[in-house]
Amino acid sequence: MKNRIYRYFLMLAIAILFPTVCFAEKPTFKRHELATYFGYANMLAGTGGLTNTSNSYEKKLRSGISWDAQYYYNPIREVGLGILYSGFTSKASHATGSDHLFTHYIAPQFAGNLLNKERWRIRLNMGVGYIRYFNDSKVYGKERKVTGGRIAGNLGLRGEYLFTSHWGVSVVAQYILSSIRKVDIDYHGETIKVKFPSDNRLSLSRLNLSAGINYHF
């Protein structure tokens, strides 16, 4: 998994350094933008509802892989309105079971450029949307599925280098903030609702550190 991440970042570095591509065209203002990012994510506040309650096991599930997709419409050069989808997964196992976490977050976005040079741009984005949580786990060989969802928010910062009039490469830091109070657990043919204490909710907050490609048109 880590090797795939390293190869991905290496490909981006080659694209930036390759001179015949980098200086082929000067970028111009485009109203539409599509972007995809891939990278590392960490649930900094931890998580819960796992098949093992040890701190060392929880730490394994805090970090994982993230992937994002974004679209923006830019009515003017400095401002963008769009939508963000962000996914996350992590997994771990122990002697009597395993956990495989997924979260899916989608939200409308408002973005503003902090720096807007010919080739270099820094953009701040924020939004409020909905996050969905899944844990496809096993206990003593039997499937156990946990699901839940709640309103969430995000705040992100992106640095972009445009190497043509249409294409750019970016590095992104994105923080998604949310926690859920209730989950449904399907286990052994039964579904039960579990409610966490108000001061100890299941945290879904995570920090994404990723890189990717932007297409402007």
- What are the distances in angstroms from CA 174 to CA 91, 94, 211? 21, 31, 11
CB 156, CB 200: distance < 8 Å? no
Structural domain harbouring 48: 2-60+69-216
Phi-psi sector, 140: left (phi>0), alpha (psi -120 to 50), beta: left
Q: How far is it, in rounded angstroms, from Cα 187 to Cα 189?
A: 5
pLDDT at 11: 63
Domains: count for the chain: 1
Rg (CA), the chain: 20
Pairing state of beta strands 120-139 and 179-180? unpaired
pLDDT at 22: 47
131-161 CB burial, b ≥16 within 10 A, e <16: bbbbbbbbeeeeebebbbbbebbbebebbbb
pLDDT at 155: 99
Q: How far is it, in rounded angstroms, from Cα 2 to Cα 9?
A: 11
Domain CATH code at residue 141? 2.40.160.20
pLDDT at 14: 58
pLDDT at 10: 59
* pTM: predicted TM-score of the whole model, two decimal places: 0.87
pLDDT at 12: 56
Find where tokens 């741009």 sit.
Answer: 121
Token pair, residue 101, equals 């976490």
pLDDT at 55: 92
pLDDT at 34: 98
Q: Which residues contact 41 (CB under 8 A, 6 or more apart)?
A: 63, 64, 65, 66, 88, 206, 207, 208, 209, 210
Measured torsion, CA atoms of residues 56, 58, 88, 162, in degrees rounded to the nearest 10? -40
pLDDT at 159: 98
Measured torsion, CA atoms of residues 149, 172, 55, 105, in degrees rounded to the nearest 10? 10
Q: How far is it, in rounded angstroms, from Cα 124 to Cα 174?
A: 10
Q: What is the pLDDT along the chain (217 residues), one digit of tens a residue?
A: 656 655 655 565 555 445 444 455 677 889 999 999 999 999 998 898 899 999 999 999 999 999 999 999 999 999 999 999 999 999 999 999 999 999 999 999 999 999 999 899 999 999 999 999 999 999 999 999 999 999 999 999 999 999 999 999 999 999 999 999 999 999 988 999 999 988 889 999 999 999 999 999 9
